[in-house]
Amino acid sequence: MKNMKKITGIALCAAMAITLGACSSSSSASGSSAETEAAEQKTYTIGTCQIVQHVALDAATQGFKDALTEEFGDAVVFDEQNAQGDSGNCAAIINQFVSDGVDLILANATPPLQAAAAGTSEIPILGTSVTDYASALEIEDWTGTVGGNISGTSDLAPLDGQAAIIQELFPDAEKVGLLYCSAEANSQYQVDTIKGYLEGLDFTCEYYAFSDSNDLASVVTAAASECDVIYVPTDNTAASNTGIIDSICLEAKVPVVAGEEGICKGCGVATLSINYYDLGYATGQMAIEVLNGADISTMPVQYAPQFTKEYCASRCEALGITVPDDYAAIDESAE
């Protein structure tokens, strides 16, 4: 009987040991599963620095955010900052992003890109709404890839196409005024480039540069009094002050051809434009690749896939301009 009790006790102990071992194994497997799930649910913080609030840049930022949110859902968080048109604010914003250790920086327009490039060589930087990376970052022998921790998208519409629009709509014009902010490197690049195309089409061109919004009205007034047509590139200061340009040029009955849709809607008659939401979305897709491990240093700068000839119907009517059928009307009711 004693032996039977002893055997029974040994059996119970063995059973308990097996049960405890199974529980330990189950707990270990559960812990491993939890760790894997936590790794899969990695969150990302992205800092976005936009030079100023206006329709084109806002659309690019929204497209960027939408692409990333579709991919990562709630696992991506955006720290959105606006420099309020002050390039000096960009450096402070970027420095804060670096201090916070964000996973990626979106630089929306040239001054934020320049500030980001100066602020970090480690955190991946994607630019958007940047016309020419070589000019913005002073890169010689441009090959299409920035290298290092920078890439992005360009909002450059073919400048020979912009010149062709001026010739098509205003074949009898003689002098074209090139209106731009001298503080914006990309604007200088655009007016320098289109000047060559326009002169090749037998137009005379003259630069009308303003340093900021304070001297814009006087410069526009001079341009409107001396030119047959005015061209405004994708210039952020001009985009934020289209009302000034519009009031002066409409009164003088001088048409403005713009570098993009937002400026055209505010003060222009026609443009060869890109879709800034699509541009931002493409930048967001690049960000997804980077966050998933792609080497940003090898990623070429991307360009908009298509361009549209557009016109502002109300302004064309006011100035008596007839537009060919292959131009699309800008939705003037949209905010």
pTM for the full model?
A: 0.78
Higher-pLDDT residue of 288 and 39 is 288
DSSP character for 320? T
> How is the chain split into domains, by residue range?
44-155+275-303, 159-273+308-329
> E strands of the chain, at which residues?
44-50, 76-82, 104-108, 125-130, 150-154, 175-181, 204-210, 229-232, 256-258, 270-273, 302-303, 308-311, 328-329
Question: 161-186, pLDDT tens digit by residue?
Answer: 999 999 999 999 999 999 999 998 88
Q: Is domain 159-273+308-329 annotated with CATH 3.40.50.2300?
A: yes
CATH superfamily of 44-155+275-303: Response regulator (3.40.50.2300)
Domain 159-273+308-329 in the same topology as domain 44-155+275-303? yes
Question: 74-116, pLDDT tens digit by residue?
Answer: 999 999 999 998 989 999 999 999 999 999 999 999 999 999 9
